[in-house]
Amino acid sequence: MNPIRKRIWRIYLVAALLILCCCLLAACNRDTSYSVAGEVSEPTHFMAKFMLTLANTSGLKNASFGWTVVVFTVILRLILSPLDLWQKIIARKNSKAMKRMKPQLEALNEKYADDKQRLQQEQMALYKKEHYSMLGMCLPTIATFVVFIVVFAGFRQMVGYQYALDYKSSVNAFNTVVEQEVGAVYGDRNGDGEINLYDIDPTADDAVAFRDEVISKAQTAVFDTYYSSEQTNIRSWLWVKNIFVSDNWAQSVPTYTSITGQTGFATSRLSGIDPSEYNMVMGKVLGTGGYGKNGKWNGLLILPALSILLSFLSTFLLNKSQAQPPQATGANGQPNQANSMKMMQWIMPLMMGVFSLLYSGAFALYMFTSSAAAILFQLVFNLVGKIIDTSRERKMPSNVAKR
């Protein structure tokens, strides 16, 4: 195996090991099922705990979770800024090294045009001499993917946690009305210490009509609770009706199959309920609150579109600032080794686009905010770099050759 190919495979191995570590980290918090049988337990993932802590602060309490996501993303970017800065410094050094190496690389291509193995050996020796880091070229992609997996696990739990809170409050509102209405007429007829619909005497003449009336009143109470100003403020964000649901054609109130993880892209699910119970409790809420008939279109596809656009723009700016490995022009005409790295760099925007389209609006908002922050940081870094270079060039004696 030639030296360049061997080094690239080493880079892939490092990336694979980091991804594996992230998967194991996410697996350590694999409890993504929330039971509504008792009290709803708080998330266990450290990222989800961080978001929950932010949401409960005085400035964000009772505000849209979307703004919590924005603040969370900015803080996370600030925490990771030293790593981001280090990556950009490596890319900047690589870019300068490539400018210095370009004439020598062209000479090597001509000299060893018929000996590809020797050409690659000489290239590797030149890279080492000029401190050109091939690993530094793919570090941003690897680091982005690592953070992506860890943060996604946190958002996964936050979505399930909010689903559980919403349904638990709905069940409580439903049961309160049932206890009041049935208790006033039948009391605890079954003697089990609980008053529910089963306490209605089925032999009574008006049993069916009375049961339907109680359910209707209870569903109205659920509707009022679900769409209370406090709950609506937490779930809605600008044009997105429910930030915990995808900003697309999905219903703003999740159905039983989606809330239990049977359909859709939700990886958190509720347990302790059955279809008939869920559909009865949420009867007047399902199919409401969204754009169009039957509560369809929770959003307008704006976040996914912006996330994809900014993700590609961020990758484009990153590639533009980085020096790419030169193409070896041997006799065998093998493809450029940099193609593999370019492919790695473009996989992340495509993956983020799929996630922002199919997963929660909260995660799409995170990716949009993160990409916007990355672009801003890249532009500022490039501007500062140009200012530094210009200042050094002015201070450099005119008779000194620039390296």
Q: In the chain, where are the structural domains located?
A: 3-30+70-143+302-393, 170-261+277-295
Give the number of other CB atoms < 10 A from CB of residue 330.
Answer: 18
pLDDT of residue 333: 42
CA atoms of 4 and 125, how far apart (whole Å): 10
pLDDT of residue 9: 54
The answer, yes or no, to whether residue 2 has pLDDT greater than 60, is no
**What is the residue-wise DSSP string for 21-42?**
HHHHHHHTT---EEE-SSPPPP
pLDDT of residue 260: 83
pLDDT of residue 92: 78
Q: Name the average pLDDT for the chain.
A: 80
Q: How many Cα atoms occupy the beta-carbon half-sphere of 147 within 13 Å?
A: 21
* % of the chain exceeding 90 in pLDDT: 29
Q: With bands split at pLDDT 50, 70 and 90, how would you rate the model's confidence at 60? A: confident
Q: Which tens digits make up the pLDDT trace of 109-137? A: 778 777 778 887 877 887 778 777 766 66
Bridge partners (DSSP) listed for residue 33: 269
Comparing 391 with 321, which gets the higher pLDDT? 391
- Measured at the CA of 225, the angle between CA 193 and CA 57, to 5 degrees, comes to 105
- Give the pTM: 0.81
- Coil, helix or strand for 269? strand
pLDDT of residue 363: 92
Closest to 371 in 3D by CA, of 308, 319, 279, 327: 308
Q: Which tens digits make up the pLDDT trace of 345-364? A: 677 777 777 888 888 999 99
Give the number of other CB atoms < 10 A from CB of residue 62.
Answer: 12
Lowest mean pLDDT among 178-182, 220-224, 242-246, 327-331: 327-331
pLDDT of residue 398: 59
Give the number of other CB atoms < 10 A from CB of residue 214.
Answer: 19
pLDDT of residue 264: 67
Dihedral sign for Cα atoms in the order 63, 81, 140, 44: negative
Q: With bands split at pLDDT 50, 70 and 90, how would you rate the model's confidence at 193? A: confident
Q: Which tens digits make up the pLDDT trace of 297-345? A: 999 999 999 988 888 887 777 767 665 555 554 444 444 445 555 665 6
The answer, yes or no, to whether residue 365 has pLDDT greater than 80, is yes
Q: Which tens digits make up the pLDDT trace of 22-39? A: 555 554 444 557 777 778
Mean pLDDT of 91-115: 79
pLDDT of residue 235: 93
Which range, 66-70, 85-89, 272-276, 379-383, has the best average confidence (pLDDT)?
66-70
pLDDT of residue 96: 80
pLDDT of residue 20: 56
